[in-house]
Structure 1
Amino acid sequence: MPDTMRAIRLAGAVDIDGLSVSDVPIPEVRPGWVRIRVMAFGINESEATSREGESDADFTWA
């Protein structure tokens, strides 16, 4: 098993061009945790709309 994994890490709100993949250490599995391998992922329409600044006025970044 490798020591690192590829991940997109966010420090705050960014547009789609601000997302970048980096290699990070694989976290140690703690009691009560499981490790899974993600083969694919996606974003839903609500996330895309929010990132483009087209969401409702009451939307806030958490």
Structure 2
Amino acid sequence: MKKFSKGFIVVCLLMATAGAYAQTACGKACQLKYDRCVATGGDTEECLMKYIACMDSCAAP
């Protein structure tokens, strides 16, 4: 797996949370899942990928 710089991760998080759907219940649930993933010692990149996938599912019709 590619290594991502912290700056890239921050940019991805900002882009993911900047969407209009980020304030929805689904978006908040994704944020909670991400926070829980990191808090339980999960790999930051893995948690980020799961977060982005979750946000993508929120945007799907």
Please indicate, yes or no, whether the TM-score normalized by the shorter chain is above 0.5.
no
TM-score if structure 2 supplies the norm length? 0.25
TM-score if structure 1 supplies the norm length? 0.25
Which of structures 1 and 2 has the bigger CA Rg? Answer: 1
Q: Larger % of strand: which?
A: 1
Structure number with higher relative contact order (C-alpha < 8 Å, ≥ 6 residues apart): 2
Q: Larger % of helix: which?
A: 2
